[in-house]
Every structure is written in C-alpha cells, then in structure tokens.
Amino acid sequence: MSRAVPLDSVDLKILAALQNNARLSNKELAATVGIAPSTCLDRVNRLRETGVIVGYQLRVDPAKLDRSLEALLYVRMQPHRRPLVEPFVEHVLNQPETRELYHLTGPDDFLIHVAAENANALQRLVLDELTARDEIALVHTNLVFQRWLGGPLLPPEE
C-alpha cells in the first residue's frame, strides 16, 4: 500500500493549481503559488518523483465525438473469481465506449462508466459485449443526465 508523502502548504497550492489547470507554464505556476520559478520546478519534479503527481490527462466532451449517451453499468460476475477478473477487465477496457472501470465491493462487482452514440449502441454493448459472457450474471444500467467534477484532491485536514 502506498504511503502518504509529507506535503507542505506550498506543495498543496501547487497541486491545487495544477489540478485546476494542468496547462500552466512553470512561470505561471510559480507566480500563482508565490515562489521562484526554479523552486517551483524543483517542487513539481519532487512531486512527480514521489508519485504524488502521476500524470496529466486531457478531458474530451463525449458529445462532440457523437457519444452523448452516458451510462453507469453495474456488473455482477458469477463466479467472482480471480482467473475471470483479468480477462473481463481487459475486454471492458478494449470497448471504445468505456470511459472508466471500477472493481467494487458490495452486491455489484464492477462499475463501468460508458459513453455511447445512442440507445441502440448502449444496448449492443450490454447484450453483445457484457451479458453474452458466461461469467456475467447481471448488468444494471443507469443513464447519466448530468455530471459535475469535484475540486482538487488534497489531503484531509489534520
């Protein structure tokens, strides 16, 4: 299990600024945080090296790619056994509609966030790619009406 990395208030300001806009130049980031650009670069590099910053991502609007129907698919696997998990995960991640995949505890084993072209494409995904698999006992589908992103992920207050 990963250990928490000690972060001071400057590190937290850097993380908050980059999570809100990962395209900030080092000079802009340094000015936002109130430190010298060389210090800022050193701190960002340390945050990368210690694994606090794990990457930068581009978010794309699914509707602009003709995938405006988003859904959350709750999947129950029967039997829920390790030899079946990896092939299932690989199969799901290879589907072009898959946005995110979570392995869960509780009554459902997986949660898949998908973006499909329309209801027919979503039905094809559920019937042909999921429930057609022998190990899938149930797929429960919830449509997403609207989505909001949370703010920067910072450590809990002490």
Domain range annotation of the chain: 9-49, 62-143
Half-sphere exposure of 133 (CA within 13 A, CB side): 21
Query: Which letter does DSSP use for residue 145 in this model?
Result: S
Closest CA to 74 of 110, 106, 37, 28: 110
What is the full per-residue pLDDT of the chain (158 aa) written as tens digits?
567 889 999 999 999 999 999 999 999 999 999 999 999 999 999 999 999 999 988 889 999 999 999 999 999 999 999 999 999 999 999 999 999 999 999 999 999 999 999 999 999 999 999 999 999 999 999 999 999 988 888 887 76
Looking at residue 76, what is its pLDDT? 98
Q: List, in sequence order, every residue forming a beta bridge with 103; answer none if it has no partner.
A: 110
CB 26 within 8 A of CB 11: no
Closest CA to 40 of 7, 14, 12: 14
Looking at residue 47, what is its pLDDT? 97
Into which CATH architecture does domain 62-143 fall?
2-Layer Sandwich (3.30)
Torsion angle of C-alpha atoms 99, 102, 107, 108, degrees rounded to 10: 40
**Preceding peptide of 79 cis, ω within 30°:** yes
**Do the domains 9-49 and 62-143 sit in the same CATH topology, yes or no?**
no
- Tokens 């022998």 correspond to 134
Into which CATH architecture does domain 9-49 fall?
Orthogonal Bundle (1.10)
Tokens for 118, please give them.
């329309």
Looking at residue 158, what is its pLDDT? 61
